[in-house]
Structure 1
């Protein structure tokens, strides 16, 4: 038999629970999350949202900017962080380009400026990824001092159009063999025939041939081996093994980043402060939609170990246009409407963000994502699509606009 005090306890608990549920049911809806207008350029930040980002700099060691490629606004955001971050010691910029390609573009920018670099890309506009846009090159040009610009990705599928030319200059009596490979590479890209490029066609016999030609050239052998390593990563994606591709690429990015970081730390005698910009899936500090822990997760722990923070910013417009890159006989660049803009806008609104100001103006707005996380709760997060959940959990702020502007190709042919 249930004793009186047990009955009374159960009744009291039931009453409390019922009251709590009713209070939750009757609670006012949470206040809307208000985006704040922000302007940014190489002069720094301005506008109501400027202080939101500026105040986060003092305690940060890393600033990661995750983008959807092909917008002019993302490099402008980097330029603003570089200006605002300079007094705090942000002297390094890591980019989504291979280290040997980065050495080439750094030398072109340093010796000839952006226009000279553009001329070097003529006839091979896809030799460099992402920094084949003028806005991107202008930002990188500010980091051409030795050791300040870090290339932390695999050598790009189009990069043999740089490296084969460089190798031909060192090939001696075998120059004709390497030049023939170089010309074949340019022809394949000009025709938009990715199945004919070196990264798709080179077999062990080809790599052995190149190693034999440069057997006495240690510097050339390093480049050849890095191209072969990059090819192995690409081949996973060619074969439909997406996760394997992602895991191997993330391992390489981590290796290159830590190598550059260690050299800078040894030279500075203190933890270097770094700005880096990559595709958004690489920059968030959460499991990415590609099922990987990427550089965004790596730097979070590194900063914490040094008593500092890592700042994660997403640049994702909800409207406008962006420049797409794809090898084609009709040209490598096309301007297209913003990808997934309507989906992102709807997700933000459903999560409690007041989109009125953004809908009414063409400027940029900054949205803090901590209140978005809290507004969504576990239920909202579990129901969100993979990319939006990653955005909300993996980033501190979102910078967006309804009027994204396409990036400007440096060379189109």
Structure 2
């Protein structure tokens, strides 16, 4: 697992040979260290950057609890600036399920029940720490948007959703049959460590078309279309190995799904403001590491057209442990050490970090970037506005 984390960080930063300069920039002038996000320095720093903003992206290292804590703090600080929507890395059905659970009298208990019924159907959010964030959003009368593809082992959950909400008897009866097959496929896949046995590989075009012929409700049709789109996206990755198509098709889907929410909200509010909690790559401005212009870039341009701006954070652990959102992993938690995978400028700073969080104002470094920094560090400076590093990161508490 250490190799996986190192590869992830190396790809994020695209390390290149360090370009030495006669005039090294003292990063301490552009950074500060804190023990928690209630620190006055952090509050003042954040509020200044939220002024006249429309979107905030929290680009995370998956699996560490501090990202949820950070996002919760940003959500609270952003309330006076008109932010009431949290956008997460799920599809719309998962976001709706999470909303219902977070609105209940026993969010953790009900979240655990859903996870027991449909294990790993919502992989990034099967933990107590993120539900602290979700319940806070609901208590503040906020909303959740889910703009991502349906997860590959989520067919069980989405079939069940349609079954429980539709009055279309033929569709319901067919989906009850398919739900049973999907559950059995998942159980067999886990027991035999064969991800190819999951239902996504059995779902085919003929079956998909037959379900569309049965469906009459617009929402049911959209859920089914999203299932077929996720089949296409995963196929590019796992079958045809067309990785650019995999990432680009997913990025386009996230943009379309976001705009569906956005235009509905705009009917009620002329300037919807949204906080995003997504993987770090999805939070980058410009061309990201998979060579696509992702949802974050589109939102940054949208904010500009509305005479506002977007704010892009990268939140990464230096060392620690992270939960593995993979049902086929033998270990639910793995240690990591990213310290040697950061650009040299950051590696130089790491030994000086003594508090829990290190916050670096990347945006202020841009006028200095061309002459003084390595190519690897420049990529971070222009893709993100603020870098937050976490010492001794903890894995979130999985169900």
- One fold, TM greater than 0.5? yes
Q: Give runs of aligned pairs for residues 144-183 of structure 1, distance below 5 A.
A: 144=138, 148-169=143-164, 171-174=171-174, 177-183=177-183
Take 1:263 and 1:89, find their aligned partners in 2: how far apart are those partners?
Answer: 17
Take 1:203 and 1:142, find their aligned partners in 2: how far apart are those partners?
Answer: 40
Distance change >3 Å, CA 226–CA 83, structure 1 → 2: same
Shift of 1:203: 1.5
Does the 8 Å CA contact 1:318/1:345 hold for their aligned counterparts? no
Take 2:351 and 2:209, find their aligned partners in 1: how far apart are those partners?
Answer: 61
Q: Give runs of aligned pairs for residues 170-249 of structure 1, distance below 5 A.
A: 171-174=171-174, 177-191=177-191, 192-212=193-213, 214-238=214-238, 239-249=240-250
Matched residue of 1:130: which SS? helix
Matched residue of 1:321: which SS? strand
Take 1:292 and 1:339, find their aligned partners in 2: how far apart are those partners?
Answer: 28
Distance change >3 Å, CA 124–CA 153, structure 1 → 2: same
Counterpart among 373, 384, 407 of residue 396 in structure 2: 407
Shift of 1:262: 1.2
Counterpart among 340, 343, 360 of residue 342 in structure 1: 340
> Is 1:294 aligned to residue 294 of structure 2?
yes
Does the 8 Å CA contact 1:167/1:178 hold for their aligned counterparts? no
Counterpart among 98, 101, 110 of residue 94 in structure 2: 101
Take 2:210 and 2:226, find their aligned partners in 1: how far apart are those partners?
Answer: 15
> Is 1:38 aligned to residue 34 of structure 2?
yes
Take 1:281 and 1:28, find their aligned partners in 2: how far apart are those partners?
Answer: 31
Does the 8 Å CA contact 2:156/2:182 hold for their aligned counterparts? yes
Distance change >3 Å, CA 380–CA 117, structure 1 → 2: same
Take 2:328 and 2:23, find their aligned partners in 1: how far apart are those partners?
Answer: 55
Matched residue of 2:84: which SS? strand
Distance change >3 Å, CA 246–CA 51, structure 1 → 2: same
Residue 303 of structure 1: aligned partner = 303
Does the 8 Å CA contact 2:162/2:172 hold for their aligned counterparts? no
Does the 8 Å CA contact 1:60/1:308 hold for their aligned counterparts? yes
Provide, for residues 72-119 of structure 1, a one-character-per-residue CA deviation record: whole Å limited to 9, x for no partner: 011111111111110111111111110122112212222342321222
Does the 8 Å CA contact 1:68/1:316 hold for their aligned counterparts? yes
Shift of 1:26: 11
Does the 8 Å CA contact 1:101/1:128 hold for their aligned counterparts? yes
Whichever of the two has the greater Rg, that structure is 1
Shift of 1:167: 3.8
Provide, for residues 258-314 of structure 1, a one-character-per-residue CA deviation record: whole Å limited to 9, x for no partner: 11111111112x201111010111111121010011122112111112221111111
> Is 1:130 aligned to residue 130 of structure 2?
no
Q: May I ask how many residue pairs the two structures share in their alignment?
A: 370
Provide, for residues 244-264 of structure 1, a one-character-per-residue CA deviation record: whole Å limited to 9, x for no partner: 011111111111111111111
Shift of 1:174: 4.1
Matched residue of 1:122: which SS? helix
Take 1:391 and 1:188, find their aligned partners in 2: how far apart are those partners?
Answer: 42
Shift of 1:161: 2.3
Residue 87 of structure 1: aligned partner = 80
Shift of 1:162: 0.7
Residue 387 of structure 2: aligned partner = 398
Q: Give runs of aligned pairs for residues 264-275 of structure 1, distance below 5 A.
A: 264-268=265-269, 270-275=270-275
Residue 318 of structure 1: aligned partner = 318
Structural RMSD (CA): 2.7
Does the 8 Å CA contact 1:114/1:137 hold for their aligned counterparts? yes
User: Structure 1: which 5+ residue stretches go unaligned?
Assistant: 1-24
Provide, for residues 190-245 of structure 1, a one-character-per-residue CA deviation record: whole Å limited to 9, x for no partner: 33422111222222233234345x43455433322210111111111112100001
Does the 8 Å CA contact 1:78/1:139 hold for their aligned counterparts? yes
Take 1:36 and 1:379, find their aligned partners in 2: how far apart are those partners?
Answer: 21
Does the 8 Å CA contact 1:110/1:141 hold for their aligned counterparts? yes
Residue 15 of structure 2: aligned partner = none
> Is 1:59 aligned to residue 55 of structure 2?
no
- Per mean C-alpha deviation after superposition, the further-off stretch among 301-310 and 229-238 is 301-310
Distance change >3 Å, CA 120–CA 363, structure 1 → 2: same
Take 1:300 and 1:165, find their aligned partners in 2: how far apart are those partners?
Answer: 36
> What TM-score do you get using the length of structure 1 for normalisation?
0.81
Shift of 1:341: 3.3
